[in-house]
Amino acid sequence: MTHKPTIIKTKKINKQKDLKIIRNKLDNNKQLTIPECALLITLPLFNIDETEEEITEEVCNYMKTKKNCIPEEKLDEMIIAMYLNIIEYIPSKKRQEELMEMIKMAEKTVRLIESIKNKGYDKGYDKGRMKLIKNAKKNHTIEEISEFLNIPTTEVKKYLKM
């Protein structure tokens, strides 16, 4: 079952004007504010001149070329949100993969694995590990996952079968 979000269109808030301000800041290599970052990742939901696909690609490009303008504490959140936008608004699987690579989605997966491994969560450990291993399997071999998590390949295979 898939979910198609309702597109919010509003005349009260001029998102095109806000987008112009953000583009100007990025063109001048100025740091974005937290609300501007939040707006960037939600732009496909609003009534703007660009299509959802165009704005998703544009934001991914900014995340690659203007990373220094994005507050570090917002970057991980933006990567996750843009992952969802890519899946929803980019029809070509090949282009989805290119955009995910552009925003370094693979790096984010590794950081999530590292974070969970270092924090040693007990609650939901098996379910979380299963999801992480399945996500990591998209870009890494069983042997690489085994080595990274310091677990036997048989355990990795067990999680992949869950």
Q: What is the mean pLDDT of the chain?
A: 80
The token pair at 69 is 């303008």
For residues 41 and 81, is the Cβ–Cβ distance under 8 A?
yes
Q: What's this model's pTM, rounded to 2 decimal places?
A: 0.59
pLDDT exceeds 90 at position 23: yes
Per 3-state DSSP, the chain is made up of helix, strand and coil in percentages (nearest 5) of 70, 0, 30
Question: How much is the pLDDT for 58?
Answer: 95
